[in-house]
Chain A
Amino acid sequence: MKYAIQINASPYSSGCGETAYQFIHAVIENKHQVFRVFFYFEAIYQAFQFMTPPDDEVNLVQRWSKLAEIYHIDLVICISAAQRRGLLFEDEAKRRNKVDNELAEGFRISGLGQLAEAMLEADRFIIFR
């Protein structure tokens, strides 16, 4: 079965990211597919590459990057939600005469059309909020 997943919350505001992460693992372990994970609203904070938690805590951003690398999961950050909150990737920053590149490895930035497509293509659509 193909799953599309939307995540709504930032890493430390709730357990939403953790639940989503564990759910995605369960999907893969049970031989299902993750069509796409779409980060919207405050969830764009899950993709800031310079997040630097203390050494004895899990680095949640790096954990997403690793997940994308190992399982080739499509992690998409919504461009309008990201720009509003100050997450810019290099190309977009240049276009706006800014110097910035905050997007962590394994994520890509795109529009809401990617969410609509995921909802249409997947067998199941789940929002973690």
Chain B
Amino acid sequence: MRVKKFLFILSQSPHDGLWVQETLDILLTVAAFDQPVSLLFLDQGVFQIKKHQNSELINLKNTAAIFKALEIYDIQDIFSEVESLQEYGLKPGDLFLPVKEIYRKELPLFIKKFDIVCSN
């Protein structure tokens, strides 16, 4: 089996249709193929991992549970852009996942390290 390095970029806000749930389905499938997967939260995507979300109130599954399960799939390379967090006033303590912070100016070189970039 071939091995490629995957990066999933999540840049959409949570609970906006089924977008994130279906994107995570791709991510988990790729991980099940034993491929190394990294995740980058960008722009409004940083809200995906903000604490204290009650998506049940708008009849959507709580995707936080899926994000928290990523560790089981050995997905630990989780990044967030510093500027995106700052723009929305979020600090690492506001997030339910530990993220590695990365600066915008580092992103082009960072993205180049991957074979497949999924930005749905």
Whether B22 contacts A41 by the Cβ 8 Å rule is yes
A117: chain B residues at CB < 8 Å are 33
Contact with B along A114-129 (1 / 0, CB 8 A): 0111011100010101
Query: Are A112 and B25 also in contact (CB < 8 A) when A84-B18, A119-B30, A120-B33 are?
Result: yes
| A127-B120, A129-B120 given; A115·B29 CB < 8 A | yes
Nearest CB in chain B to that of A40: its residue: B22
Q: In the complex, are the beta carbons of B119 and A127 less than 8 A apart?
A: yes
Interface residue total, chain A, C-beta cutoff 8 A: 18
Interface residues of A in 1-55 (CB under 8 A from B): 8, 40-41
The answer to whether A80 and B25 touch (CB under 8 A), given A119-B4, A120-B4, A125-B116, is yes
**Given that A84-B18, A127-B118, A129-B120 are contacting pairs, would A112 and B26 also be in contact in the complex, using a CB cutoff of 8 Å?**
yes
A61 to B22, CA, bound (A): 23
Q: How far is the CA of A8 from the CA of B33 in the complex (A)?
A: 22
List the 9 shortest-distance A-B pairs measured between CB atoms, nearest first.
Answer: A112-B29, A116-B33, A120-B2, A116-B29, A116-B30, A119-B116, A125-B116, A41-B22, A112-B26
